[in-house]
Amino acid sequence: MSKQIAVQCSDLSKVYTGGVEALKKVSLNLEKGKIHIIIGPNGAGKTTFLRIATTELSPTSGSMTLFGHDVMKDKGAITKLIGVMPQQALMYKQLTAWEHVYFFTLLKGFSRTEARKETERSLKLLNLYDRRNDELYQFSGGMINA
């Protein structure tokens, strides 16, 4: 059985204005179904790498694909495939869990019908379906980070 590649980078580089080199010719393959950790000291390029993966930032050179989709050419497909949990979570605590997930699913580009299905699926996956009508201010920090 061949290994499926989730993330593939080839000579990925990013140089910011002023010549600050955040990534220098990064090449890697990350397998689907495995847990991968990106670690390094401040300024190592971790956030830059993730910003390129989420299509928020363009590389200076090289390429990156996620599940076969080029991050620069197929942004719509990428945003439907991934989600990001920032260090400081953006939460609207007056919304219910269902409303919150539905809102962000719509922002990712899903149709209303797709968003409803994805919201239901996500809440069940996170074991929060029974709490879907509770407002987020009632949740613990761990539940919010789920």
Q: Looking at residue 66, what is its pLDDT?
A: 94
Contact, 8 vs 32, CB < 8 A?
Answer: no
pLDDT (tens, 9 = 90+) of the chain, 146 residues, equals 578 999 999 999 999 988 889 999 999 999 988 888 888 887 888 889 998 998 989 999 999 999 999 999 998 888 888 876 655 555 677 888 899 899 888 888 889 999 999 999 999 988 889 989 988 777 766 666 65
Domains, in order of start, for the chain: 5-81 (3.40.50.300), 97-145 (no CATH)
Q: Which pTM does this prediction carry?
A: 0.61
Q: Looking at residue 52, what is its pLDDT?
A: 94
Helix, strand, coil shares, percent, the chain, to 5: 35, 20, 45
Distance CA 2, CA 5 (A): 9
DSSP single-letter state for residue 132: T
Q: Looking at residue 86, what is its pLDDT?
A: 57
Q: Looking at residue 30, what is its pLDDT?
A: 94
Q: Looking at residue 89, what is its pLDDT?
A: 57
